[in-house]
Each structure stands twice: as structure tokens, then as C-alpha cells.
Chains A and B, each alone.
Chain A
Amino acid sequence: MSSDQDHLKETDTEARFEFKKEENSAVKSDKGLTEEVIRMISEDKDEPDWMLERRLRALEQYQNMPMPSDWPGMPDLSELDVEEIIPYIRPDVDKREGVDDWTELPDEIKDTFDKLGIPEAEKNALSGVGAQYESEVVYQNMQEQWEEKGVIFCNMDEAVREHPELVKEHFMTTCVPPSDNKFAALHGAVWSGGSFVYVPEDVTVEMPVQAYFRMNSEGMGQFEHTLIIAEEGSEVHYIEGCSAPKYGTHNLHSGGVEVFVGEDAHVQYSTVQNWSKNTFNLNTKRAICEENGTMEWVSGSMGSKVTMLYPCTILKGRGSTDTHITIALAGEGQDIDTGAKVYHNAPDTSSTIESKSISKDGGRTNYRGLVHIADGAENASTAVECDALMFDNESTSDTMPYMEIEESKVDVAHEATVGKIGDEDIFYLQSRGLDDDDAKKMIVAGFIEPITEELPIEYAVELNRLIELEMEGSLG
């Protein structure tokens, strides 16, 4: 649809919002979050009874929990009416067999791939060109490689059917139980799609496991669940690219991510997300780390009206390690409230949190973090660094780091910097020949460099490009 294509280039949030409403106005049924709706979803997916039971239990918990309201400086959720939003799940479920809106990525991103000389097959897969064919082949090849090693990578719905024991044990049980928070409960009730990754003992998956491919052909749920199980001594890098939903319709995104990091295992979870500007993006992401395990979170959060996202790691085993690198960008009318949570529940554990935020045109970013060091977690160490960059005097940025330290033999560091994008810095670059726009872009690209260097090049490029797109119009 060529109007889609035009729309992709539209940076006007209002227009995008209107466009969505139009698309959805045809579907207005099953209003309200009820047992019937949940049963319908479960039946539609042909799920076993135990999953339906979990959904219904989660629904009950959801209904009994109040909306969060007592957080200092929390984003305004008053416009979020879950009862109104739920009917939109149904069409998404219907489309899960083959949404190909994806084929219409902006030309700029395709050009970037061209410029980078990314191989044709990968390019096609990434840009969604012929998602139904070529990417399937690419995906199939990789799947075979993994399967030989006992690695499982599949759709979460499929995992429920094909690997019930693993899912039964790990799905929203000890890591993110529905009782965790209201939106985790909601997620438990209505979840759909997502990824399942299982890496057996001592297996290293050399190349990043990317969720891009599958999402092309399967479509993306608004409530996708990601479950990663890395057994002892294994290693995997999972990457989720969610820029597609920028061009889709999502009023509420409430994803769930659960990561089990075994002894001496190493998991990196990277995501670049860019939601449409009318989305409430409320997620629960958590990892549990066994002895000497390593968990790394790398995330770029853009888009959305409100984002509340605090990836959490529970350092359960002695000597386990956690790293968080996050970047947030908020423009006009956006409130991006993100951060990190780390529980040091064992001795010799360490964590590093590096948070970067950019706010412009009156947008707000907030770092909200919690580091908890339990009594007995001797020699735990943590370092938190928050840097905020603001484009103008209307934009705001807050830092709310909470430290709960119950053990005295620990090493704790916190550092925060907040700065307006410097006129002197811009002038310096201008005096070397860069125009005003390019000078600002270069400063921002440098600012987010710690994130981009952690990502495979095509994601790094896309992240840069997305940020440039977000910045266009506000500059000059």
C-alpha cells in the first residue's frame, strides 16, 4: 500500500495517530477484558489446558491489583484504558500467520544496508523484502545449524505445543510471576507470540540469535513473551529488533521477557525498540543469574507515548555479573521512564548500569533504578552511571537512583551528569565545516556510541538512523 509507504516517512505524530485509528475502526468487538476473551485467545492458539489455566489465574490477579499510583514522578497513565484497548488484540491474533507490512521499510534504511554492503540474503531478510520466501530460507539454514547442537529457537506459541515441559517449568513461574505487577499479570493473561530460546549445556551460539526474521513472517503481538533458557556453561546473544511496530498499530504494548542464566553461562539480550507515539509501553523483563553467570542487557528505547521499562537481574549465585546499557530518547509529548533493577543476593556479585537519555522538544526522560544488596552479599560491587543530554530548555530529565544496601562490605558507586547539548560543542564542529544539523547528529551519535558498539552493525546503523529520523524536524 503506497499510502503506507508515504506514511512511514511521516514524522508528524498526529498524522500517524490518525492513520492508526482509521485502520482499526472496522474492528470493534469483544470489548472488555473478560474470561471469554482469554478463552478465545487460548482456543485460537490451540493451547493445552495448563496454559489456559495460567492465563485465567493471571487474569484474576490482574483484576485484583490496583494500577500503580504511588511512584514518585511516575508517568501519567490516566489516558490508558485497558478495557478500551483489549478489543484490538483480536485482530492482531488473527494476523499472526503472516503480516507483511514489514516489506515496506523506509528506503533510507535499505540504502544504509546497501552502503554497508550487507549480503543480499541478509539484507532481504532484514529489510523484509520477500519476507515470505528468502528470509525463510535464511532462517531455516540457521535453524538447522542450531538444532544439531540441541539449540531450540522458535515462536513462543509453538514452544507451548512442542516443548511443554521446559515451558511449564519456566513460563512465568519463578522469574516473572503474574503477581509481580499489574502489567505482568495482564501480560500473563493475554500474551501472544514472542520467542523461545533454549541453549543446552556448554553450547555457544556464535552468532546472535535474532528475532527480526521470525517477526517478519509471524507478525508481532502486542503482548509477546520471550523466554530464554541458557544452561550451564552456555553462551548466547539474543537480539530483538522492534522497529516494525513503529509502522504498526499498538496502543498498549506489554511484553514479558524471562531469562534464565545457568552456572557459568553468558546471555546478552539486546533490543532496539521504536513504538508508535500513541503506545503505552509497559514491560516486565527479568533475568535470574546462577553462580558465575553473566547477564547483559543492551536496550534502546524510542517512540511510545509512555514507556515504563526497568530490566531486572537477580544475581542469585555467587560471583554472578550483570551489565545494563540503556538509551532512551524522548520527544514532544513523550515520557520515557526507564532504568534498571539489580538484586545482589549472593556474595562476590557485581553489576554495572550505564544509562543514557536524550530529551528534546519538551520530552521527558527519567532514569529510575534500584540496586539492592542483600545482607550477606559480601564483596558485592555496583557502579551506576546516568548521563542525560537535553536539546532545549523545555525538555526535562530526571534521575531517581535507589540504593538499598543491607551489607556493609560492598563497593557502591553512582554518578550522574545532566547537560544541555553544548553550544560550544556545536560551534566547534561547525567551525570545522559541519552544518548545524550534522553537528548535532554527530554529538548524539557519539553520546550513544557505548550502545551502538555493543550491537551488530546493522542494528547499530538502524539505531543511529532511527535517532536521526527522530531528530529531524526538531533541528535547524
Chain B
Amino acid sequence: MARLELSNLHAEVAEGDEKILEGVDLEVESGEIHALMGPNGSGKSTTAKVIAGHPAYEVTEGEVLLHLEDEEFGEDIEIDEDQRTWNLLDLEPNERAALGIFLGFQYPAEIEGVTMTNFLRTALNAKIEEREELFEEEEGEDVEEEDEGFESSPMEGPADEGEVGVAEFQQILQEKMEQLDMDEKFAQRYLNAGFSGGEKKQNEVLQAAILEPSVAVLDEIDSGLDIDRLQDVSEGINALRDEQGTGILQITHYQRILDYVEPDHVHVMLDGQIAKSGGPELAEKLEDKGYDWVREDVYGTA
């Protein structure tokens, strides 16, 4: 089990003092699905980026904590008491990823020349390695300096000890792609380059499936999808939760995806705060009545 906890989170744009988040409180546990809804500009995407550590935002107040339990790291591992809670705001984005945070992008970057296979295997190995470092460092053990430069090279050789090798990885990738109904030729395509909107979203879910995060924040993963693709992507998200116990924070504008990915909790964000929380019925009400009634409800004005 893992629990992501945002408390009284305030953030602004790093260059400038435009305030975007004004006290967000939110908890997502592994195995749960939370929907985060709200009008444009209410701070949903910023919340996602701040969790993942985007450098464009500066946190001025509050905390983002990740609580871990033993089973997060396999049955034989016992996490020290003082390493069960991490303040993500002290960590680099890649360290957050290593601890099990995943951000699914609305507009993922296109990286030419880097094949999906190479990228995903590199990412998976980087995560394994970083995780070891994070936990070993704290114990004061000598952490071997790893940066020989080969890890990121597409011309990588056989796997080092503890790494996932090429053959092993191919198998993992193939399996996950089949689950998501992705064409196997994706493996050799360049990361997101020339992907359609739907393919990009599928790719985000594929990455989550391979990196097995504790908590996945999916930023409008449903935008621009036709109904077939929406179903594929939704199945992928449900599988993350059902098979890996991933906690999902699903950011969306629309009720549509929630027909397939049924949330345990729905939160409405207004002006940089969670204005209202409820169950799935809240999403339906939003679909019918828009956001104004929430504003009215909360602030007493329309």
C-alpha cells in the first residue's frame, strides 16, 4: 500500500508570481480511483505537474507526502520506519518516479531517434537503480557511482547485474502491448514521434503498466480519443488498478471516461482548491449541471 497526500498545497508559476494552487488537500491510496474534475484554469494540470516535480512551478506552502508500505517493494523487503514517508517536494522528478509516482501527460513529448523499446527499458532500469540508491543512501551504505554513460545509450550492451536485459524486456513489453491492443511495431517506433493523439494516450498507459507506479496521475488521458480507443485506454487504466494495485488520480473534464473507469471518489477543483468531494454520483451531477452550482454551493455566488 502507498498513500499520496497533498496538504494545504500552494504553488505559483516559478517565473512570476501568478498563484495557481491555493491550498489543495487530497489523498490517494493505492487501489483507489479518484477523479479530479473542474473547469479550465482551475489548477488540475498544475496539481499533476507539481506532484511530479515540474520545474515551472514553485511550491510556496504545504506538503506532498508519499507514504509507503512494505509490499510496495516486494514481499521480502522491509522498509525502515524512517523511510516510509517521503516528502516529494525535496526530491528530483526522477526520484519521485523511482518511489512510484507516475504522471500521464496530456501532451507527451515527442523524442525523435529514441525507440520505445530503448526508452522504456532505460526508464525501467533507471527506476530500479534509483530506487536502490534512495534506500541505500539513507542507510549510509556506499552507493556505487553508476554514471558510466551506457545506461542511456541506444547501443547498450548486455544488462548489468540487477538490470532488466533486452530479451527479458522484450517479453514484458510484448505482453503489455497485447493487453492494450497495441500493434507490435510500436516497439520500434520513436517515442511518440508521429503518434496520433490516441496512440500517445495508449502509450502513456503502456508506460504506466511497465513502470508499475504506486500512484498514477493521469492528466486528461481521455482527451481526443474516439470511443474505441477510449475503451482500450480505460481497460488499461482499470488493469493498472486491478492487477498492480495502482492508485489512480484521473484528471478529466468529462463524465465520459468515468463510465469506463469508475471512480471511488470524485473531486471538483475550483480556483486552485478542492471545492467539493463526493462519490461517482458527483460526476454525474456535474455532467448534468456544469460547475456553476458547485461554485454557488461553496461560495454562495454564481
Contact = CB atoms under 8 A, between A and B. Distances in A.
Interface residues of A, number: 42
Interface in B128-164: 130, 147-158
In this complex, which of B92, B102, B147, B207 has the most chain A Cβ atoms within 10 angstroms of its Cβ? B147
A449 B112 contact: yes
Contacts of A432: 94, 97, 119, 123, 126-127, 207, 211
A438 interface: yes
B239 interface: no
A111 to B, nearest CB: 7
B112 A427 contact: no
A442 B150 contact: no
A430 B158 CA distance: 23
B114 interface: yes
Contacts of B252: none
Nearest to A442: B152
A268 to B, nearest CB: 20
Contacts of B119: 429, 432, 442
A46 interface: no
A465 B149 CA distance: 8
A468 B112 CA distance: 18
B123 A430 contact: no
Contacts of A437: 147
B93 A445 contact: no
A430 B111 CA distance: 13
Nearest to A448: B113
A425 B112 CA distance: 11
B111 A435 contact: no
Given A424-B109, A446-B113, A431 B103 contact: yes
A446 B111 contact: yes
Given A117-B158, A445-B114, A435 B149 contact: no
Contact of B152 (A111, A424, A441): A441
Interface string A188-217: 000000000000000000000000000000
Contacts of A457: 155
Interface in B43-82: 52-56
Given A428-B109, A442-B111, A449 B130 contact: no
B153 A445 contact: yes
B149 A449 contact: no
B122 interface: yes
Interface string A395-431: 0000000000000000000000000001111011111
A146 interface: no
B251 interface: no
A464 B97 CA distance: 26
Contact of A115 (B55, B96, B130, B150): B150
B186 interface: no
Contacts of A394: none
Interface residues of B, number: 43
A233 B74 CA distance: 63
Contact residues of B: prevailing secondary structure = loop
A430 B114 contact: no
Contact residues of A: prevailing secondary structure = helix
Contact of B126 (A114, A424, A434): A434
B148 A111 contact: yes
A114 B156 CA distance: 11
A469 B52 CA distance: 29
A248 interface: no
A112 B150 contact: yes
A446 B112 contact: yes
B291 interface: no
A177 B224 CA distance: 61
Interface in A438-452: 438-439, 441-443, 445-450, 452
A449 B189 CA distance: 13
Interface in B147-185: 147-158
Contacts of A242: none
Nearest to B129: A433
B162 to A, nearest CB: 15
Interface in B187-222: 190-191, 207, 211
23 contacts: A108-B148, A111-B148, A112-B150, A112-B155, A117-B157, A431-B53, A431-B105, A432-B94, A433-B124, A433-B126, A434-B122, A435-B92, A436-B94, A438-B126, A438-B151, A439-B94, A439-B152, A442-B152, A446-B113, A446-B190, A465-B153, A468-B149, A472-B149
Given A433-B98, A468-B149, 18 more contacts: A108-B148, A112-B150, A117-B157, A423-B55, A431-B93, A431-B97, A432-B211, A433-B127, A438-B147, A442-B114, A442-B119, A442-B122, A446-B114, A446-B190, A448-B113, A449-B112, A461-B153, A465-B153
Interface of B: 52-56, 92-94, 96-98, 102-103, 105, 108-109, 111-114, 119, 122-124, 126-127, 130, 147-158, 190-191, 207, 211
The 3 closest A-B pairs by CB, nearest first: A446-B113, A115-B157, A449-B113
